Structure 1
Amino acid sequence: MTQKIILQGEIELLEPSNVSKVELSLLKAAQKVSENSYSPYSSFQVGAAVLLENGEILQSSNQENVSYPVGVCAERLVLGYAGANFPDQFPQIIAIVARRKGDQNWAKVSPCGMCLQGINEVEQRFGKPITILILRPDQSVYRVEGVKNLLPLKIDDLTS
């Protein structure tokens, strides 16, 4: 017997005028930190900013290595820093931006699979979804409530 499984996700598309001040400040922080990207191999600059529940804003950019698997994505780097330095503070919102070095426009991207799984781990740890903001080339923003909307077959538990 064959079954067809339909997976669905929900993503809001916000016009720039509908992005809150808090969300806008996070996106701007991600844009600024993307300039610190160390990406000599891909020339793809990624920035991520996280708002912790205590109001602290953390940010990071991708850091490449000539041995590609050794590099770290901006999203996982900032969430790892948050976990190491603010272990009891839930990262409520993560904002993500990316563009090719020298380009004026921001790229249309999504976090990679490893980053999505990393976001999932933080959500599991705190028992609640993280809001994910992704800046688009036209300055509109994807708002995603929880990683399940981008990674429906996420790995949640290795014991079952």
Structure 2
Amino acid sequence: MKKVIIESTIFVYKNKEALPEDVSSLMQKAIEARTKAYAPYSNFQVGAALLLDSGEIITGNNQENASYPSGLCAERTAIYYAGSQFPKAKIMKMALTAGSEKKESNEPVPPCGACRQAIAEYEIKQKSPIEIYFMGKTGKVVKSNSLANLLPLVFEKSML
């Protein structure tokens, strides 16, 4: 048996105001998207904003459904829209914000497993990393230079 250590590096900002101006602006778009989420069952709203290499900003939010598996997360809503409308564009940065309508949400909320896999697919497709910034409704913001820091053992097409 061989022991393998996997390390990830993330960066933590004190709050949204500590972010570089372009990222703070992108996060503001994610916050605006979060307020439009359709989350009547969980009362947990998520907003995403993507910066494409063209300068275009795409937003998305979670869309719930009484048949839970039929809903879609904010990250995938935005990514799939970008993929369908701008198929040759690269996603450079992603800003995420999430929180409950019923309680204080100041801890950073990372993408769920399904969204991590979807983000991984786009990093592989575009052959370049996507900077990911995530936060709660307020408080600290976490930055990862690539999805690989959040999902180091990615499942990808070469395994099929």
Whether TM-score is above 0.5 comes out as yes
The structure-2 alpha-carbon separation of the partners of 1:86 and 1:18, relative to structure 1 and needing over 3 Å to count, comes to same
Q: Could you say which residue in structure 1 is the equivalent of 2:157?
A: 157
Sequence identity (%): 36
**Paired residue for 1:3?**
2
Compute the TM-score of the two structures, normalised by the length of structure 1.
0.92
CA displacement 1:3-62 (0-9 Å, x = unmatched): 222111110112335411110011111111111111111110000000011111110100
**1:108 maps to 2:113:** no
Corresponding letter in the other structure for 2:3? K
User: Any residues of structure 2 matched to 1:52-63 within 5 Å, and which?
Assistant: 52-63=52-63
Question: Structure 1: 5+ residue runs without aligned partners?
Answer: none
C-alpha displacement of 1:102: 4.4
| Post-superposition CA distance 1:83-136 (Å, at most 9, x none) | 000111111000000011144544431100110010000001110000000124
Unaligned residue ranges in structure 2 (runs of 5+):
none
Q: In 1, distance between residues paired with 2:94 and 2:108?
A: 16
TM-score of the superposed pair, with normalisation by structure 2? 0.92
Q: Which amino acid aligns with 1:95?
A: A
The residue that corresponds to 1:13 in the other structure is 12
What is the aligned length? 159
RMSD value, Cα:
1.6
